[in-house]
Amino acid sequence: MSLTSHLPADRRTHVDGRLQTNLMAWLTTVRANGQPECVPVWFLLQDDDTVLIYSQPGKLKLRNIAANPKVALALDVSDIGRDVIRIDGEAQQRDGYPGANEVPAYVSKYTERIAAIFGTVDNFAASFSVPVLVTVTKLHA
């Protein structure tokens, strides 16, 4: 992953691991009035260093991204603040992008949670049908 290539080897291994295995991240977008909006999301760091998120249609985060694509992601579970990993980026709704049920890595990462909450990956994909891609502009690790 080129996203973490600037980090020392041991830190790079750790950060790569967290980016691949953490299940939750906090996505921060900005409302039209300047108020930040922070929501938990499921995410997948892809091989091209973009971050894939799926959203339900009509959500505030989608309106915020349409007006201002600058976003931040922060990984959950930061061990009392000593292991913070943040991403700055630009997000874009990607109509025509494969649904969650068509992205094997996403399905694999969230199989247990999808089954417990939605029953099937098709149910999840029907509810969270709006793909958002975040192009990373900076990694803070």
Residue 104 lies in a domain: no
Residue 119 lies in a domain: no
Q: What is the CATH number of the domain that holds 56?
A: 2.30.110.10
Interval 77-115: pLDDT, tens? 766 767 889 999 999 999 999 999 999 999 999 999 999
- Domain range for 11 is 2-96+128-140
Residue 29 lies in a domain: yes
Q: What is the pTM of this model?
A: 0.94
Task: Name the residue among 119, 137, 140, 127 with its Cα closest to residue 42.
Answer: 127
What residues are paired with 135 via a beta bridge? Answer: 50, 90
Residue 103 lies in a domain: no
- Structure confidence at residue 84 (pLDDT): 85
All residue ranges of the chain with pLDDT < 70 are 1, 78-79, 81
Query: Which distant-in-sequence residues (6+ apart) come within 8 Å of 80 by Cβ?
Result: none
Q: How many domains does the chain have?
A: 1
Residue 105 lies in a domain: no
